[in-house]
Chain A
């Protein structure tokens, strides 16, 4: 299995531009998570999907952030407009959830390093 795939790996953009980050979870996993990692705040959960449905978006910092999961094999995290304080590493992770029980292991992708100038 290829693991969780994220693209792009690096993104440099200017303030005000739209940024779209992409994630392909592990086949068969039905839970997907977007995280943000910064030196100041560590690793924070932004949004959680189960069976393609957003369950918890309480970590999304502002309305400038949006996430979608149109099918079981693809998710996007969009920032519009981007700001310098959005600079961070964004991780996507997936796991399995069966019968209402979450499995322990969340498999993380390699991350997208975002720099907003």
Chain B
């Protein structure tokens, strides 16, 4: 079993829809929870990170962490075609990041 499980999709939604992404994990030592966005043929870039259970908002993006269930989510409101990318969840223990497989999202205009 992988440390981090993420449904690879793909996910296709119309412009303006809410995109919902999630990951589960098995390692209780993970301290920080992150979401990276990766455009085609580019390196991943950090979108959001959280430390504790609960919600964190940044513009159209909301990250949720439920440590008791070992479950994290990312919601994208009012999705735009420019949000089309692969979204990777990542979890950190000290310096080490463990990544999910990534979910490919396409937002149709």
* Chain A residues with a Cβ under 8 A of chain B: 4, 31, 42-45, 48, 50, 55-56, 91, 93, 97, 102, 104-106, 108-111, 113
Find chain A residues with CB under 8 A from B94 CB.
Answer: 102
Give the contact-size bracket for chain B.
Answer: 10 to 19
Cα distance, A87 to B94, chains bound together (Å): 29
- Encode contact with A along B28-54: 1 for CB under 8 Å, 0 otherwise: 000010100000011111100100000
Find chain A residues with CB under 8 A from B102 CB.
Answer: 42-43
Q: Number of residue pairs across A and B with beta carbons under 8 Å? A: 47
Cα distance, A102 to B51, chains bound together (Å): 13
Q: Which of B74-109 contact A (CB under 8 A)?
A: 88, 92, 94-97, 99-102
From known contacts A42-B101, A42-B102, A43-B88, infer whether A106 and B96 are also in contact, taking CB-CB under 8 Å. Answer: no
* Chain B residues with a Cβ under 8 A of chain A: 32, 34, 41-46, 49, 88, 92, 94-97, 99-102
Cα distance, A44 to B102, chains bound together (Å): 12
From known contacts A42-B100, A43-B44, A91-B43, infer whether A104 and B49 are also in contact, taking CB-CB under 8 Å. Answer: yes
Find chain B residues with CB under 8 A from A55 CB.
Answer: 95
Find chain B residues with CB under 8 A from A50 CB.
Answer: 95
